Amino acid sequence: MKRTFFYAASLAFIGFGMTACGASTEDTAEDTAVTYLLNEEATTLKWKGTYAGDGHSHNGTVKISEGSISYKGDTFESGSFIVDMKTIESELTPETGANDLKESISGPGLFNTAQFPNVEVIVNSISDTEINATLKVGGKEVPAKMPVKVKRTDKKLTAKGKFIIDFSAMNAEGFQPGKEKGKENQYIKPGVDFDLNLVMKAEKTRE
């Protein structure tokens, strides 16, 4: 009788221990918050601007200096980036007009980097195929839907793709038809081409 009692008690104890152990070590997606931080060295952002009048263009790069994207499990929580407009470069050399072009892009007629040195990118939503964001640029807000291929693991997030951002909402003089007669078409098209290769590293926290 005693042997039967102790046997049953032992089974119950083992079962309880296994249940308790399972509950304490379970790591569900709902419990895990993950923040991906920008890998600045591995990330690139290329641009291309085209003139309306004759269709010639210039291209170059600009650096993303800060950035993070946070998830709670599989649910996107928040995200933001800083684009440092002081780092903008073109394909031109100093001998072929690089300084003049940078001065024009940075000037009050376009991005006015003296007053607004950074572009803040607020991520509204993100999926496997698109980043929906709002750009705070030149004191204005510009909506941007970026069709990119997003891949996410527990260690890394990448986003790659080519897209166009329409800067018409800035109402910048350099993106509008000229007012002087004969110079109506001497402006840059507000739809600027971009090529993004975004690389981010994960930092896990548990809530």
Sign of the Cα torsion 84, 89, 90, 94 reads positive
Angle CA(53)–CA(58)–CA(63) in degrees, nearest 5? 140
In a domain, 17, yes or no: no
Phi, psi of 121 (to 5 degrees): -110, 115
In a domain, 53, yes or no: yes
Predicted confidence at residue 205, as pLDDT, reads 53
Predicted confidence at residue 6, as pLDDT, reads 41
What distance in Å separates the CA atoms of residue 188 and residue 165, rounded to the nearest whole number? 13
In a domain, 13, yes or no: no
Give the domain CATH number at 132.
Answer: 2.40.128.110
In a domain, 19, yes or no: no
Predicted confidence at residue 53, as pLDDT, reads 85
In a domain, 10, yes or no: no
Taking only the tens of pLDDT, the chain with its 207 residues reads 444 444 444 444 344 343 344 433 344 455 689 999 999 999 999 999 999 988 899 999 999 999 999 999 999 999 999 999 999 999 999 999 999 999 999 999 999 999 999 999 999 999 999 999 999 999 999 999 999 999 999 999 999 999 999 999 999 999 998 776 656 677 999 999 999 999 999 986 544
What distance in Å separates the CA atoms of residue 158 and residue 109, rounded to the nearest whole number? 34
Predicted confidence at residue 97, as pLDDT, reads 95
In a domain, 1, yes or no: no
In a domain, 7, yes or no: no
CA dist 54 to 42, 172, 186, Å? Answer: 35, 20, 8
What is the domain count for the chain? 1
Show the domain range for 106. Answer: 29-206
Per DSSP bridges, beta strands 118-126 and 130-137 are antiparallel
